[in-house]
């Protein structure tokens, strides 16, 4: 599943960590069917690199 999700507040920053991480570096998270983080990329990621990961995770039960 690809999509957006809420981020837990970070008490040290006073805002969700995703809000800061999204401004600092590109990041992509791939979620499994149970909405758990299955892969994280902390760089710009072209679709052709992401597609095999999504397909592999989609095949998992």
Residue count (the chain)? 61
Backbone angles phi, psi at 29, to 5 degrees: -120, 135
How do residues 1-33 score in pLDDT, each as one tens digit? 444 445 544 455 455 555 555 556 778 888 999
Strand, coil or helix: what is 28?
strand
Name the pTM for this structure.
0.55
d(CA 23, CA 18): 8
Domain extents for the chain? Answer: 9-59
How do residues 30-60 score in pLDDT, each as one tens digit? 899 998 999 988 888 889 999 999 999 999 9
Contact predicate 42/52, CB 8 Å: no
Residue listed under structure tokens 């710009």: 44
């Amino acid at each position: 599943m690809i999509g957006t999700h809420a981020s837990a507040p970070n008490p040290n920053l006073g805002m969700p960590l995703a809000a800061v991480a999204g401004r600092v570096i590109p990041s992509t998270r791939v979620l499994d069917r149970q909405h758990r983080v299955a892969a994280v990329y902390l760089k710009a990621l072209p679709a052709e690199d992401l597609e095999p990961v999504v397909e592999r995770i989609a095949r998992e039960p």
